[in-house]
Amino acid sequence: MGKTKYSRQPPLPKTGNSLRFVKQLFTPIAVKTSGKDLRTSFKNTFETANAVKGMELLRAMDYLNAVIAHERCIPFRRFNKSMGRCAQAKEFKTDKGNTPPF
């Protein structure tokens, strides 16, 4: 398996050295994770990853904490056979959702 980068930094500007701009430059704008031999269902992991894809980091952390507290659910879109309905999934315009065991 190849080398994994955990955060991507944009290139430095060629002109101008505004402190505010440089400070914004060094904030991570993308995060990449990987796992190997994890003791969890890949279906739950797939749906959870798709639910937080595209969210900002703090918003995703708040969302996952709400899922752990059973206040919100993870929408199951692909692996949803023989799964019950969840009223909390209306937020995502689907009727199947669950709070996976973390």
Cα radius of gyration (the chain): 18
Confidence at residue 54, expressed as pLDDT on a 0 to 100 scale = 84
Confidence at residue 18, expressed as pLDDT on a 0 to 100 scale = 52
17-68 per-position pLDDT tens digit: 554 555 555 555 666 677 788 888 888 888 998 998 888 888 888 999 999 9
Contact status, residue 38 vs residue 45, Cβ threshold 8 Å: yes
Confidence at residue 24, expressed as pLDDT on a 0 to 100 scale = 53
CB half-sphere exposure, 52, CA atoms < 13 A:
23
59: domain CATH number is 3.90.470.10
Confidence at residue 100, expressed as pLDDT on a 0 to 100 scale = 78
At position 45, the amino acid (one-letter code) is T
Is residue 68 included in any domain, yes or no? yes
Contact status, residue 70 vs residue 99, Cβ threshold 8 Å: yes
Considering only residues 73 and 101, tell me which one the structure prediction assigns the higher pLDDT. Answer: 73
Contact status, residue 97 vs residue 89, Cβ threshold 8 Å: yes
Confidence at residue 102, expressed as pLDDT on a 0 to 100 scale = 60
Domain that holds residue 82: 39-98
Structure tokens at 72: 């919100």
> Total domain count for the chain?
1
